[in-house]
Amino acid sequence: MLAALVITTVFWASAFAVIRAGLDAYGPGQVALFRFLVASAALAAYAALVRMRLPEQRDLPAVFLGGLLAFAVYHVALNYGEVTVSAGSASILIATAPVFTALLAVAFLGERLRALGWFGMGVSFLGSAMISLGEGEGLRLDPSAALILLAALSTSIYFVLQKPYLQKCGALALTTTPSGPVRCSRWSTCRVSSPRFRPPP
C-alpha cells in the first residue's frame, strides 16, 4: 500500500512539469488526448484480462457525467491553463481540489468538518488567490489560473458524484467505463488544437 501511494504521488507530481514541456510541441487538446490514449489502452487491457464487470445500465449516466468532469473538463482546462501558468503554480492551484471536495461533501453528502478543517481551507484558498493574482498583471485574476481552478472544481464534483457508486460498481470500473467515450470526444479538440498553439498576446 505504501509503495502504491509513493508511486501515485510521484507520477501525479511529475504530470505538471511533463504537461508544461509537452505544450512546447503540441496543443493542449493533443496533450490531453495522448494521455487518454495511454491510460485507456492500459485500462482496457486490464479490464479484458480480469473480465471486469461493467456498471449497471441505470448507473451509466452518472458514470459518464463523472468521466466528463474528471477526464475531459479537468485535463483540457488544466492543459490550457498551463500554457501560461508555471508548472509549480499549477500544482498548487490544483491542490485546491480537496478544499472544493470537502465543501461539496458537507453540502451534498452530509459530512462534517471540524474547526481546524475550516481554518485549513481558509489558508488554502488565501494561498491560491495570491498565486492566481500573482500570475496576472497587477491585481487581476489571470484567465489561465482561473482555468486551473476550474479543473480543480470539476474533479472535486467528480469525487463527490462517484462516492455513492464506489462500493456498488468498484473503483476501477468507474474509471474504465467512461474512458473510451471521453477519449473519442477528445478527437474534436485535438483537431482544432494546433501543434503550434500559442497563447494570445
Domain boundaries in the chain? 14-50+58-190
d(C-alpha 91, C-alpha 99), whole Å:
14
Question: Is-contact 184 67, C-beta < 8 A?
Answer: no
Q: For the ranges 103-107, 131-135, 145-149, 156-160, which has the lowest average pLDDT?
A: 131-135
Residue 156: pLDDT band by 50, 70, 90 thresholds? very high
Q: For 39-58, how does the pLDDT look when each residue is reduced to its tens digit (9 = 90+)?
A: 888 888 888 898 888 788 88
Residue recorded with cell 508511486: 7
Sign of CA dihedral 40, 45, 48, 51: negative
pLDDT confidence band for 1 (50 / 70 / 90): low
Non-local (6+) Cβ contacts of 183 within 8 A are: 33, 36, 37, 40, 71
Average pLDDT over every residue of 6-10: 81
The residue assigned the cell 489561465 is 144
Q: How far apart are the C-alpha atoms of 154 and 164, rounded to whole Å?
A: 17
pLDDT 10s digits, 85-134: 887 778 778 888 888 898 899 889 888 888 887 887 788 777 777 766 66
Q: Between vectors from CA 85 to CA 30 and to CA 28, what angle results, nearest 5°? A: 5
Residue 47 CB contacts under 8 Å (≥ 6 apart), including other chains: 172, 176
For the chain, the maximum distance between any two Cα atoms, rounded to a whole number of angstroms, is 55
pLDDT at position 153, please?
94
**What percent of the chain is predicted at pLDDT more than 70?**
81
Residue where the block lists cell 483537431: 191
Cβ density class 12-33: b for 16+ within 10 Å, e for less: eeebbeebbebbeebbbbbbbb
Report the predicted TM-score, pTM, of the whole model to 2 decimal places.
0.72
Q: Please, what sign has the CA dihedral across residues 169, 175, 178, 180?
A: negative
